[in-house]
């Protein structure tokens, strides 16, 4: 008689998890661990085909459909098929399609959707996972279902800098993935097995699709850049495997190579498994050999198998996206008296005082009337008066409240357009006015960082504000007996889920991908230079004085007049990001810390 007992986890293939003192964890037991990893920036989902069910075929169904597409009628698969059977069948399919001159990508595009399932709604599991904001996702899927669900939820601004972009296995893409581990770049989807479409910068990823054994071998062992990049991510992040059975032998080989060569990493990985699929010794093997902790979920009583998967992912996402708490404090080195900068995900205070001034963000209509940000409390609004010598500031009458206007006026059209270059200036000006009036604490919201109408990723507004604070501390006299506290409130991060929060800027600070200390303390301007030559590109970090010109940077890289420069993020979106004049300082061109200056041949 099988050794089976019943407990909260139920009997599993004759294996009593209750008899094991190291019983499998339920995902509920690990929510605190997952939340901590998310807030440290190390939790990275690794998603497989289960996330797209039932809209797209799972691996076994896809192999059978592709065999039919390739005209192979004698594929023998068990019920259920083993991973080895599927790999062998996949190799025959790839060979037969190539022999017939057919495109694997076209066959995949035709056969991947399940014709018996509705193609109108996104899969529930994909939508659940996408409800959390992720800086990086790894996937073995070929489709864009998760990508579309994520961008539908999180892309709300008038720029593309917050759109999740797809990367493949090329050396340039691998370098971009590794750079994202320590920099606040746009969210990325790393398609490990190819993608039905284009990737970042228009690169065609259809040619990177892998299916058969020979494909896997080439992708793994003949691509040193990919293997090194994957190992780096595996060691420095905590992967959360969802919708994948980890059946691909070559992936287990990549895991093992990293562990054997470099030792087990300090961040445990996790895999989400239906408790009905938990075989004997699965947990022990994954933990001791692959450093992967098994987390189980179960289906509701009398419900179909895997019906608990999407609700489980939604509960995890909800736990990760609870309104953040806490603050981060930084100091301006060398400031006398002390100047501290607190960054926190909170609303603006409701009331100002003589010692505590508040700075809100505002736009300006052609008539000169202000459009005050919705995150400025009603109690802080009212009639405004001008500030002498500062056209970019207005003061609310009778209050220690300033409205900052980081705009550039266009005399020809009368428009007042957002200009990233002005964010640092207006921050400096606001501090000068508030301190002159006796403030010892100044609260800011993020300036020119609208979630829906913004023209660049919000984190760059934060960077420019830090730059303006540093400039103020260096150039403006402070009262000797009065230390200054500056609070930057990320008001969008403090919103509840129903109010469309945006936590990308706060997440960059909380996880250390943005280091405010570097901006506050360093005089050199840190940015990146990318040079595209004959289908390849190089990326070089630069630390130079902001008064250097764009042409001097080009000459440093031995680029002649046949090259043109493009700047990202674009500081003046309505005027385009192509620099028409190279004999201009980096400061005037709009290069900010974290910018990318890209040179291409005309």
Query: Under 8 Å CB-to-CB from 419, ≥6 apart: which residues?
Result: 406, 407, 408, 571, 572, 590
Token couple for 25:
């964890």
The string of pLDDT tens digits covering residues 234-263 is 999 999 999 987 766 777 788 888 888 888
User: Is this model's pTM higher than 0.85 or not?
Assistant: yes
Cα distance from N-terminal residue to C-terminal residue, the chain: 77
Residue 62 CA to residue 88 CA, distance in Å, equals: 14
Could you tell me the pLDDT band of residue 413, with boundaries at 50, 70 and 90?
low
Cα–Cα nearest to 593, from 533, 513, 491, 478: 513
In the chain, what are the domain boundaries? 20-55+122-320, 59-111, 328-499, 525-601
Query: Under 8 Å CB-to-CB from 471, ≥6 apart: which residues?
Result: 424, 428
* Domain at 20-55+122-320: CATH code: 3.40.50
Residue 525 CA to residue 519 CA, distance in Å, equals: 8
Cα–Cα nearest to 240, from 22, 30, 468: 30
Backbone region of residue 32 per phi and psi (left: phi > 0; alpha: psi in -120 to 50; beta: other values): alpha
pLDDT recorded at residue 469: 96
* Domain at 328-499: CATH code: 3.40.220.10
* Domain at 525-601: CATH code: 3.10.20.90
Element (H, E) at 402: strand 401-404
Contact call for residues 450 and 491 (beta carbons, < 8 A): no
Token couple for 575:
């005027």
The string of pLDDT tens digits covering residues 43-102 is 999 999 999 988 998 888 888 889 888 888 877 787 888 777 888 888 888 889 889 888
The string of pLDDT tens digits covering residues 324-362 is 888 999 999 877 788 999 999 999 999 999 999 999 999
Element (H, E) at 601: strand 596-601
Residue 207 CA to residue 168 CA, distance in Å, equals: 10
pLDDT greater than 90 at residue 138? yes
pLDDT greater than 50 at residue 495? yes
pLDDT recorded at residue 410: 64
Q: 3-state DSSP helix/strand/coil percent for the chain, to nearest 5? A: 35, 20, 45
Token couple for 416:
């007042």
Residue 361 CA to residue 405 CA, distance in Å, equals: 6
The DSSP annotation for 339-366 comes to EEEEEES-PPPS---SSEEEEEEEEE-T
466-469-473 Cα angle (round to 5): 140
**Backbone dihedral angles phi then psi of residue 200, each to the nearest 5 degrees:** -60, 140
């Amino acid at each position: 008689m099988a050794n089976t007992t019943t407990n909260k986890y139920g009997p599993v293939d004759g294996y009593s998890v209750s008899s094991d003192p190291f019983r499998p964890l339920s995902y509920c037991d690990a929510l605190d661990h997952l939340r901590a990893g998310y807030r440290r920036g190390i939790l990275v989902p690794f998603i497989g085909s289960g996330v797209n069910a039932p809209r797209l075929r799972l691996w076994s169904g896809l192999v059978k459909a592709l065999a039919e597409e390739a005209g192979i009628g004698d594929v023998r698969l068990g019920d259920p098929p083993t991973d080895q059977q599927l790999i062998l069948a996949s190799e025959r399919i790839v060979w037969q399609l190539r022999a017939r001159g057919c495109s694997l990508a076209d066959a995949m595009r035709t056969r991947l959707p399940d014709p018996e399932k509705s193609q109108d709604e996104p899969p529930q599991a994909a939508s659940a996972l996408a409800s959390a904001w992720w800086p990086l996702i790894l996937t073995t899927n070929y489709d864009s279902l998760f990508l579309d669900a994520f961008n539908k939820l999180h892309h709300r601004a008038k720029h593309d800098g917050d759109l999740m972009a797809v990367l493949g296995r090329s050396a340039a893409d691998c370098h971009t993935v590794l750079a994202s581990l320590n920099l606040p770049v746009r969210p990325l989807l790393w398609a490990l097995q190819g993608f039905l479409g284009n990737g970042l910068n228009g690169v065609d990823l259809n040619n990177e699709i892998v299916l058969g054994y020979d494909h896997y071998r080439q992708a793994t062992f003949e691509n040193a850049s990919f293997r090194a990049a994957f190992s780096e991510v595996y060691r420095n992040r905590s992967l959360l495997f969802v919708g994948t059975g980890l059946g691909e032998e070559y992936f287990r080989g990549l895991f093992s190579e990293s562990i054997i060569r470099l030792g087990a990493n300090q961040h445990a990985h996790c895999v989400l498994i239906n408790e009905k699929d938990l075989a004997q010794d699965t947990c022990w093997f994954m933990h001791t050999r692959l450093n992967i902790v098994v987390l189980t979920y179960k289906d509701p009583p009398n419900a179909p198998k895997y019906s608990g998967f999407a609700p489980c992912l939604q509960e995890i996402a909800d736990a990760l996206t609870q309104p953040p708490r806490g603050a981060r404090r930084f100091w301006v080195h060398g400031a006398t008296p002390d100047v501290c900068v607190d960054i926190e995900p909170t609303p603006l205070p409701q009331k100002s005082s003589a010692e505590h001034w508040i700075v809100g963000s505002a736009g300006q209509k052609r008539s000169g009337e202000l459009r005050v940000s919705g995150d400025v409390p009603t109690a802080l609004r009212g009639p405004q008066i001008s500030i002498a010598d500062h056209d970019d500031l207005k003061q609310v009458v009778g209050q220690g409240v300033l409205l900052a206007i980081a705009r550039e006026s266009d005399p020809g059209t009368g428009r007042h357009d957002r200009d990233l270059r002005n964010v640092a200036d207006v921050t400096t000006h606001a501090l000068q006015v508030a301190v002159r009036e006796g403030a010892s604490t100044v609260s800011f919201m993020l300036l020119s960082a609208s979630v829906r109408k913004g023209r660049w990723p919000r984190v760059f507004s934060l960077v420019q504000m830090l730059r303006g604070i540093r400039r103020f501390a260096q150039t403006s006299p402070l009262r000797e007996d009065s230390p200054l506290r500056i609070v930057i409130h990320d008001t969008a991060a403090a919103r509840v889920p129903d109010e469309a929060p945006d936590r990308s800027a706060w997440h960059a600070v909380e996880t250390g991908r943005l280091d405010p200390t570097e901006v506050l303390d360093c005089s050199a301007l840190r940015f990146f230079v990318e040079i595209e030559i004959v289908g390849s590109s190089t990326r070089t970090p630069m630390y130079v004085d902001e008064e250097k010109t764009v042409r001097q940077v080009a000459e440093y890289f031995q680029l002649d007049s046949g090259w043109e420069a493009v700047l990202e993020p674009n500081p003046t979106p309505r005027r385009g990001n192509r620099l028409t004049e190279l004999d201009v300082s980096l400061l005037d061109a709009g290069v900010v810390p974290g910018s990318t200056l890209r040179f291409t041949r005309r």
